[in-house]
Amino acid sequence: MGSSLRVLGVDPGLTRCGVGVVDVGADRRASLVHVGVIRSSPDLPAAERLHLIAQGLRDAVREHRPDVVAVERVFAQQNRSTVMGTAQASGIALLIAAEHGLRTATHTPSEVKAAITGYGSAEKLQVQTMVARVLRLDALPQPADAADALALALCHAWRGGSAGSAAVTDAALTPAQRAWRAAEKARR
């Protein structure tokens, strides 16, 4: 793919931790490298669950050699145990990246949805559909955690993570990417 950026996206969770790896070129075209989910049983102690997630992420980093790791930024939820598990898994992802000397970035769910669909409150099915379209997949990535990990990786690359992205003209962007670029310019 020429000069491309390889991004490992991580949708953190204790039961299902989504992992997606994409290559994104300077023209913002993307291709799928890997998608999967690291699973751990709720019946296991938290330390063992975190160990399984760490091992799965280490394996993904070693096998796919990303340039950067993008992780969903933890946000407030009503369910305290859910947010705690998500925060712990997020910390593991950031730790694994640091162990391998990789750059990291975090993005909120609304940032990811806006980057992928052009709408920060998009439904999961809309995100899955756009991820499948962008990556030219024959089917929607399943489960949703896997699609979210791919969306995180794409979001990071499109938000300026790839080399030469500033030189990309608006004509080369999708409507969602143009909307994101306009929002980024307005925010600055």
Name the maximum alpha-carbon separation found in the chain.
Answer: 51
43 is in an annotated binding site: no
Contact between 147 and 9 (Cβ < 8 Å): no
Q: Is residue 11 among the annotated active site residues?
A: yes
Residue 24 burial (10 A CB sphere; 0-12, 13-18, 19+): buried
Catalytic: which of 11, 23, 27, 148?
11
CB 1 within 8 A of CB 25: yes
Q: What is the residue whose two structure tokens read 């993005």?
A: 107
Catalytic option among 23, 72, 111, 148: 72
Residue 72 annotated in ligand binding? yes
Query: Among residues 23, 27, 111, 145, which one is catalytic?
Result: 145
**Residues facing residue 10 across a β-bridge:** 19, 71
Respond yes or no: is residue 138 known to be catalytic. Answer: no
Q: Tell whether 48 is in a known binding site.
A: no
Instruction: Mark whether 43 is an active-site residue.
Output: no
Q: Which residues are annotated as a binding site for Mg(2+)?
A: 11, 72, 145
Q: Which residues are annotated as a binding site?
A: 11, 72, 145
Residues annotated as part of the active site:
11, 72, 145
